[in-house]
Chains A and B, each alone.
Chain A
Amino acid sequence: MTGEPVLQIDNLESYYGPIMAIRGVSLEVRKGQIVTVLGANGAGKTTLLRTISGVMNPAKGTILLNGEPIHGREPDAIVAMGMVHVPEGREIFPLMSVAENIAMGAYVRRDTSAVRRDEEMVYGYFPMLGERRGQQAGTLSGGQQQMLAIGRGLMAAPKIMLLDEPSLGLSPLLVEEIFAIIRRLNEEQGVTIVLVEQNARVALEVADYGYVMETGRIVMADTAHTLENSKDIQAFYLGVREETQRGQRRWKQRKTWR
């Protein structure tokens, strides 16, 4: 599963005014992979994605998309190059209908017939959206809005998709549903995925490779399998889960950590 590198990030630094939020991050994503970036709230995950998708400009460092430097470019140029960012917190267009939101996803595309086909593909992955094409997006439930945000992102026909905490605030059942779709998108459509999560358990389940971020730095990087079995990860990110078969051990670890 290791194709050529699609996204290469080297020594990236990003600021909010005087606050340094990303402190020299390097990472690599290969074609067809699902790479997850884990980290607690405030670690800098969202800032990292915003810098990659061009909404923020890095102070230092390089970002290569298919070998081409994209740091400092406008976000619309980057979307047109095949990388789309599905933001955290379901940033949909609340007063537009579901269908109009979906159509906005294809804003940078001109190939009308292919856009039509992709609309049907999106409604295929999310039948719930298809049933609600005319409904105002702001009236959808949280889970439906998250699906809309992902479906809208798909309409850009991305080769690589940046997903920011798709599980945030959703019930475990909905999280399972959305992650199953993410995996299918990766397998069936060949979309390379960068998945930012606080929910390490579900993220490591679908990911091939993972990075762990703390206060703006990458502190750990390994295959998802290794990370899942690493003592530190289990203690700090998986420890609070109690309902798996290995629950007993995790439970104990959570206690020693406290």
Chain B
Amino acid sequence: MLHCRQQCDGNHPVWGVGELDLLQLSISGLANGCVYGLIALGFVLIYKATEAVNFAQGDFMMFGAFITIWLANSYYLGINFWVAVSIAVLIMGMLGYLLDMIVLRRMFGQPQIAVVILTIALGFILRFLAGAIWAHEPQSLEFPLAGEKITLGGLVLGVEEVAVILVTFALCGLLYLFFSRSRLGMAMQAASQNQLAAYFMGVPVKRIQSLVWALGGMVAAVAGVLFASKGAIDPSTGLLGIKAFAAAVIGGFGSLPGALIGGIIIGLVEPFAAYGLPAGYSQIAPYLIMLLVLIFRPHGLFSQVQKKKV
């Protein structure tokens, strides 16, 4: 049962190198998957409440990361890390809110495709702006605990990866409490399950929708901070939003837990695909999974298909 291919000195639990590698790969895949999952969460959040898909969600993530880098890194403003994160989250929240209030609300009655094109264009604008302001070289966020290692019996984990995973799960817990306990969260649920009925109950649906966009922006900012804490980010990184979109589809595009799990599935599959498949093939793994899910479970793994009783 125990494989002892290299030194077994008895101090470490006896794990073979193969298992260690697998575990380490899984942890870093899980950390990546958390970021995909958070971006996917933003897609689904906004889609459920407003029936619009924000194709700029990945660019929101990138922009939130750059705002934090600009505020916190020593070669820019160098303010306190946590203050920088809070400000970036607030700014991205406001961006989401204002985008809905000023632009999208006026597009009411336009075909869906108009909103799609608009958000794609917005992604271009954010990429261009980030490049113009912060240049195109990859940059990392100066994470206060960066470089520290956590040793778990032979397993050496970067503190960044552990932080990404913990923060993601904490954020999801918070969001769960928010949606199930708070008045505003219930109103958001109501507006996304039955907009007309929400109107009849006196829910100010338009304002709620703007607030959902704000929440989408804030979650994207957190995803960006996590991404830039564990690796380098450049203005085109936002394009990984496409991968997160695949994650949302895998999860059913209507289920928040599904989005997170879809992201984690992609995150976990990626490193193993890179490990086992010839170079070039591994990149298509996420989309392959998406296609398989679409073929065999067209409503996604965690769909909440609701049949209306007549």
Contacts and interface: CB of A to CB of B under 8 A. Distances in A.
B309 A84 contact: no
Given A107-B203, A152-B201, A142 B310 contact: yes
Contacts of B275: none
Given A55-B196, A94-B194, A138-B307, 11 more contacts: A55-B199, A75-B202, A76-B203, A84-B200, A87-B196, A90-B309, A93-B198, A107-B190, A108-B202, A156-B202, A169-B310
Give 8 closest A-B pairs by Cβ, nearest first.
A79-B202, A91-B197, A108-B202, A76-B202, A93-B193, A76-B204, A94-B306, A85-B200
A86 B202 CA distance: 12
Given A100-B186, A140-B309, A92 B194 contact: yes
B106 interface: no
Nearest to A78: B202
Contact of B308 (A74, A94, A153, A156): A94
Nearest to B306: A94
Contacts of B204: 74, 76
Interface string A43-59: 00000000001010000
A235 interface: no
Nearest to A17: B109
Contacts of B183: 107
A53 B304 CA distance: 31
B189 interface: yes
Nearest to A93: B193
Nearest to B193: A93
A53 B187 CA distance: 19
Contacts of B306: 94-95, 138
Contacts of A74: 204
Contacts, number: 80
Nearest to A106: B201
Interface string B223-251: 00000000000000000000000000000
A104 interface: yes
| Chain A CB within 10 A, most for which of B186, B199, B202, B304 | B202
B201 A53 contact: no
Nearest to A168: B310
A190 to B, nearest CB: 21
Interface of A: 53, 55, 74-76, 78-80, 84-87, 90-96, 100, 103-105, 107-108, 138, 140-142, 145, 152-153, 156, 169
A95 B202 contact: no
19 contacts: A55-B196, A74-B204, A76-B199, A79-B200, A91-B197, A93-B189, A93-B198, A94-B193, A94-B308, A95-B304, A95-B306, A96-B186, A100-B186, A104-B190, A105-B201, A108-B202, A138-B306, A152-B201, A169-B310
Contacts of A86: 200
A104 B310 contact: no
Contact of A103 (B186, B196, B200): B186
Contacts of A93: 189-190, 193-194, 197-198
Interface of B: 183, 186-187, 189-190, 193-194, 196-204, 304, 306-310
A104 B186 contact: yes
A107 B190 CA distance: 10
A175 to B, nearest CB: 16
Nearest to A54: B199
Contacts of B202: 75-76, 78-80, 107-108, 156
A104 B203 CA distance: 9
A142 B308 CA distance: 9
B309 A75 contact: no
Contacts of A107: 183, 186-187, 190, 201-203
Nearest to A139: B309
Contacts of A156: 201-202
Given A103-B186, A104-B190, A140-B309, A92 B203 contact: no
A96 B190 contact: yes
A78 B203 CA distance: 11
Nearest to A74: B204
A79 B197 CA distance: 12
Contacts of A84: 200
A87 B309 contact: no
A84 B199 CA distance: 10
A94 B48 CA distance: 14
